[in-house]
Structure 1
């Protein structure tokens, strides 16, 4: 497992996919890592946020349950070992349109509000991620409001 994670990290550092990985897998992992980072920013209710991550990954990538669980576990390991978020956001910036990146920001906000409240750390992280993904401020605030409304925290 450790060697496969090392291979995955080295593959993430290079723009071209390596043998055994695809560009889509890189994007799935990058997205999942950002979602996990939001979960890690709030220690209060990781289970509600974990479920929100699982649902977001299933919806975004149309993966089977076991694939989503494996992706989540890989993302947790990658998140723990990642020196920064730029590696992941830059992959998304290269591959996704502004509308696709905004959808990811929607998922990030859904995870942040999954437990019914937004912590200061989650808010700060989301602001940083919005900037790293080049999301226009108005779109970013609208995504936050949509998530807040869905969570019942109007």
Structure 2
């Protein structure tokens, strides 16, 4: 399974050595980047949220989190295909870890203070692809909104 993730990302150029990041770290960073770019712009708040969330989740310092995001941006720029990434994430992460990923994704799409229609559509698609129910995704959304101070 990890070998599958390595194959997916092996063909794209990266700014870090190929083995600098775990495949799951890179896959999650790619999904976060894809979500952040869904509305057509990468806002500074989204960039900061992604770096903070990846740093917390994978215990990376700020420099390493930024390097991971830079690598992910390169992969996302070269490929619009999400099915393989989400399939491998579904296989590599336990259900509670996938719920945590959904919460991270919700925090990124709401980092700029609004939810674009394309972002909402992407979130539904990702939830289905990683086997997270609509109800669970909604609960993750509420947790994310509370964490951002948008929802009491």
Q: TM-score range by the shorter chain?
A: 0.7 to 0.9
Partner of 1:32: 29
Question: Do the aligned partners of 1:13 and 1:87 also contact (CA within 8 Å) in 2?
Answer: no
Q: Secondary structure at the match of 2:22?
A: helix
Aligned match of 2:14: none
What is the total number of aligned residue pairs between the two structures? 140
CA distance 1:10–1:148, change in 2 (3 Å): closer
Matched, 1:120 2:117: yes
Runs of 5+ unmatched residues, structure 2? 11-17
Distance 1:101 1:69 in 2: 22
1:60 to 54, 57, 60: 57
CA distance in 1, matches of 2:36, 2:84: 19
1:109 Cα deviation (Å)?
0.1
Match of 2:19 in 1: 21
Give, in whole Å, the separation in 1 of the partners of 2:25 and 2:57. 9
Tell me how far apart the structure 2 counterparts of residues 72 and 52 of structure 1 sit (CA, whole Å): 11
Which residue does 2:13 correspond to in 1? none
Greater share of helix residues, 1 or 2?
Answer: 1
Q: CA deviation at 1:148?
A: 2.4
Question: What TM-score do the two structures reach when normalised by structure 2?
Answer: 0.83
Give the aligned partner of residue 131 of structure 1: 128
1:101 aligns to what SS in structure 2? helix
Superposed, 1:104-119 pairs within 5 Å as 104-119=101-116
